[in-house]
């Protein structure tokens, strides 16, 4: 992500945070308020065939090596120009292997663009892998 894009995302995040109200807390004090889902809960939703749009925000090479079943690839470094590829409904879950601050910034950026039914995978791709849940290549 370019420095200009990072500044734009940070500004959007700051503006959205000042307007945001009562989201669930994910992470620690330096992480903005985000709605988060645990891997086990997401797996139950998927097993129940709930409609969930998964967005893999890792590098394309990492996505190609293995991703959550049905996930689309929108690398976090391209979010500022590709966010419109992410559906606004039904339920959208973002995940990556990045620091919590980065995925939180992506969450807040999407909120600032009018997304309301999205969350982040609290324990990220690594948490999914540790539970040995399925992957697709």
Please list the active-site residues.
Answer: 96
Q: Dihedral of CA 108/110/114/115: which sign? A: negative
For the chain, the 3-state helix, strand and coil shares in percent, each to the nearest 5, are 45, 15, 40
Distance of CA 32 to the CA centre of its chain: 13
Q: What is the DSSP string of 99-119?
A: -HHHHHHHHHHHHHTT--SEE
Cis bond upstream, residue 90 (ω within 30)? yes
């Amino acid at each position: 992500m370019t420095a200009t894009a990072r500044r734009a995302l940070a500004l959007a995040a700051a503006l959205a945070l000042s307007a945001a109200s009562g989201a669930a807390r994910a992470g620690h004090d330096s992480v903005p308020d985000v709605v988060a889902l645990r891997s086990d809960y997401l797996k139950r939703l998927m097993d129940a065939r709930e409609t969930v749009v998964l967005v893999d925000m890792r590098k394309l090479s990492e996505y190609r090596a293995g991703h959550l079943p049905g996930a689309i690839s929108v690398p976090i470094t391209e979010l500022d120009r590709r966010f419109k590829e992410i559906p606004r409904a039904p339920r959208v879950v973002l995940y990556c292997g990045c620091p919590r601050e980065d995925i939180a910034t992506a969450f807040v950026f999407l909120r600032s663009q009018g997304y309301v039914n999205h969350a982040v995978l609290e324990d990220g791709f690594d948490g999914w892998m540790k539970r040995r849940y399925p992957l697709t290549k």
